[in-house]
A and B are shown apart, each in its own frame.
Chain A
Amino acid sequence: MSLEVEQVALVLGGHPVLNGVSLQAEEGSMVGIIGPNGSGKSSLLRCMYRVLQPREGAVFLDGRNLEQMTARQAAQKLAVVAQHNDCPMDMTVEELVLLGRSPYKRALEGDSREDRQIAAEALSAVGLEGLARRRLDTLSGGERQRAALARALAQQAPYLLLDEPTNHLDVGHQLQLMELVKALPVTVVAVMHDFNLAAMYCDRLCLMNHGAVAAAGTPAQVLTPQRIREVYQVEAQVWLDEEGRPVVRCLPVRPHGSDSVSERG
């Protein structure tokens, strides 16, 4: 029971985006994908949820090649919260979350009592139980993000893929969401920006740069000052907390000769 990405290469519009990326997520673990803008994080995730087809390599779910599954089979295994959640016209939060049950539905089959129960539980898990009847276009960005997570939870899939799940969320809701996701009995792969949040919650990190894996391992192995300088071109101070997880503070790199510039000014 694991998710494996093997030597995935992806070309978009003639440009190589991913060059032989491999990644493994053990059952029940949480893997964070970090890296600078344009390093291929989201593209890698989108290969994992079948929206992009890799030119080489493949993604395996429990040993089965993802490309050989139907969309429906894949949807029963994989739930996704994408980065941009378009707001559909005239839909309530509850209706959105109930759509998470679609992979299990035959044609003409309506929503059962059980589906409603699952949707209600998903909504209370993300703290939106009071907003079930609200229209999606009246929600704030953060509420919409949590509604999208509730929809993914209602899918009851063993794998959960998240693209910058804490985007739009304030600090309280960021921690709440990560706690919730961490407590789920599922395997999680999440694209993240925040080093500290990633270090706190992920079992393993995969640092991407220029479409390749620059480093992979535990947060303490990946988040070192040298690596951060190489990949992000920023200085970083890293401490380890009592659990051995890194705490990172980033500082701008002073360009060489900046003193002489300020003297001239």
Chain B
Amino acid sequence: MRGAGLLPAAAWGPVCLGLAGLLILSLGAAVGIGTIPIPPEDVYRTALWCLLGLGDGSQWGSGALYDVVWLIRMPRVVLAAGVGMSLSVCGVVMQAVVRNPLADPYILGVSSGAYLGAALALGLGLGGAAMGLAGCVGGFSASLAVLALARLGGRITAVKLLLAGSALSAVCGAAANLTVFLFHDDRGAAALLQWTMGGFGGASWPGNGLMLGVTGLGVLFFWSQFRSLNLLTLGEEAAMTLGLEPRSRRLLYLLTAAVMVGISVYQAGMIGFVGLMIPHTIRLLFGGDHRRLIPLSALTGGIFLVWADVLCRVVLPGNELPVGILTALVGAPVFVALLAGRSRRMEGMG
């Protein structure tokens, strides 16, 4: 069967398997790249021993190679993959909820809300898990605030949602910066600055455990909701006449996405436009059916951020580029192009 994309829709299954394989290869290759190159074979053998207990523990379970591969590089690469999956899928979900391909956790202000939550926690002298939790609560509250703002004066429209998102983004960003300014905490300020630019440098296994758990469950949950997400794209009234309760669904999906984004922001800072670019590309190739869109976007998003992080590590000799800067440099023009194309189409239709 052919779908709405450039490629045959029936190819999505094999493509998914291919992407899963590519993701595993990318993880190995990305761990191998660094100041000391490590052959992929060694990376996989270490991973096999650490994950499944296969192989020779005395060779792969300790020593310098183990430290570099398993304790330093692997957490970082795995975090990049997890965040990429999470942000892409949240982008897909928000686009369905808002019925607009321009939505993204960053653009709707959910990332900024999470950032503000974490900054407030920092200002109050809380650290670690409390900051992560505050990030989730912040993202959560920002989602609710965006919905409430967009609902002012009646029906939610895409334009009102985008405006509410950018307004909220500005408010949260300013409030977070104010918090940092008032508390005069240089260390905190440096940490927050890193957060606004995004990066995977702070990765560790304990943090990754939570992140991967939430991402995995979130992606599976949204995949299971493919039909409801498809119905939501028809609009509130049509979804209702086809048996969906759109209001409660929309709330459930936004809140789930907020938890996923909150944890991503806590672990890796604000990384924009991934949730915009990846779903857009997948839609172009395979059409808008969420049965295909969710898994394909998750895998592609993971692969994308793994390689974006590699690029950030090697592009400046002796230094590291924050990954949020790279995604914004690539993603913002895509956003503008999408906006321009859309406006042109709208004019043509009017």
Contact = CB atoms under 8 A, between A and B. Distances in A.
Interface residues of B, number: 31
Contacts of A172: none
B42 interface: no
B188 interface: no
Contacts of A105: 227
Contacts of A72: 243
A73 B231 CA distance: 16
Interface string A81-100: 01001101111101110011
Interface in B212-270: 224-225, 227, 230-231, 233-238, 240-245
Interface string A42-86: 000010011100000000000000000011111110111010011
A102 B244 contact: yes
Contacts, number: 97
A94 B230 CA distance: 13
Interface stretch (B1-9, B75-83, B192-200, B301-309): B1-9
B246 to A, nearest CB: 9
Interface stretch (B14-22, B140-148, B286-294, B328-336): B286-294
A110 B227 CA distance: 9
Given A86-B235, A107-B224, A91 B241 contact: no
Nearest to A74: B243
Q: Is the interface of B mostly helix, strand, loop or mixed?
A: loop
B324 interface: no
Contact of A133 (B2, B243, B244, B289): B2
B282 to A, nearest CB: 10
B242 A100 contact: yes
A51 B291 CA distance: 27
A85 B230 CA distance: 15
A144 to B, nearest CB: 12
A135 interface: yes
B101 interface: yes
A82 B224 contact: no
Q: A46, A49, A96, A99 — which one has the most chain B CB atoms within 10 A of its CB?
A: A99
Nearest to A88: B233
B224 A108 contact: yes
Given A86-B235, A88-B288, A105-B227, A80 B101 contact: no
Interface in B52-110: 95, 99, 101
B243 A75 contact: yes
A16 B172 CA distance: 40
Q: Which 3 A-B pairs have the closest CB atoms?
A: A90-B288, A75-B243, A103-B243
Given A88-B99, A102-B244, 5 more contacts: A82-B238, A86-B235, A92-B4, A95-B289, A135-B287
